[in-house]
């Protein structure tokens, strides 16, 4: 359903094309997706100065954007994409345990891990560089694996992150 009253402001920030919602009806993310090329990645930036912005950029430009903390998230909008996990827990959430569990379901997985550890919360984003999701059915399989892990092995696995247009915080970025 198209929102008739959606108003979006195009602007260039960080030498990158972004779109900002200027009405409560949204539409900036849809505008970024629509205006992007096939080789571009959809991104979301959220900062105190600029607020929420959605844009599109090339993979090489994204690498430059995440060198500094610009509040960048990758928006997973299309297939194929790598298998990913969102792990959130208290200080007892142990990364080595999480990795061992992942390896039970994805043998020989090559993992890229970003996140943070504090005295009260541990949060990790894990991407499997050698496992790919090609369609919604495969994404649902990974979701159901995470539901099983969450219920029977480790409650820190978030299974609710397997949706369309998922925002995943990029490396070196903070919320």
Residue 138 burial class via C-beta count within 10 angstroms: exposed 0-12, middle 13-18, buried 19 and up? middle
Structure confidence at residue 5 (pLDDT) = 58
Residues 6+ apart with CB under 8 A from 173: 66, 69, 70, 71, 72, 73
Q: pTM value?
A: 0.86
Structure confidence at residue 78 (pLDDT) = 93
Sheet architecture: strand order including 81-89:
81-89, 122-133, 111-117
pLDDT mean for each 10 residues of the chain (175 residues): 69 94 90 95 92 96 94 94 96 96 98 91 95 98 98 97 93 80
Structure confidence at residue 65 (pLDDT) = 95
Domains and CATH numbers, the chain: 8-76 (no CATH), 81-163 (3.30.70.260)
Residues across the chain: 175
Structure confidence at residue 1 (pLDDT) = 42
Tell me the β-bridge partners of 72. 45
Residue 81 burial class via C-beta count within 10 angstroms: exposed 0-12, middle 13-18, buried 19 and up? middle
């Amino acid at each position: 359903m198209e929102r008739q009253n959606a108003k979006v402001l195009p602007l260039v920030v960080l030498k990158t094309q972004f779109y900002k919602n200027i009405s409560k009806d949204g539409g900036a993310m849809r505008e970024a997706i629509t205006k992007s090329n096939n080789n571009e990645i959809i991104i979301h930036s959220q900062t105190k100065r600029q607020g929420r912005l959605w844009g599109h950029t090339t993979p090489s430009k994204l690498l430059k954007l995440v060198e500094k903390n610009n509040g960048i998230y990758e928006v997973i909008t299309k297939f194929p994409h790598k298998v990913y996990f969102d792990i959130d827990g208290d200080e007892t959430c142990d990364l080595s345990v999480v990795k061992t569990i992942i390896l039970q379901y994805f043998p020989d997985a090559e993992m890229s891990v970003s996140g943070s550890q504090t005295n009260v919360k541990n949060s990790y984003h894990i991407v499997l560089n050698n496992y790919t999701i090609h369609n919604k059915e495969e994404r649902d399989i990974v979701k159901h694996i995470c539901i099983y892990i969450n219920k029977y092995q480790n409650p820190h696995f978030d299974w609710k992150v397997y949706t369309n247009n998922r925002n995943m915080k990029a490396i070196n970025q903070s919320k």
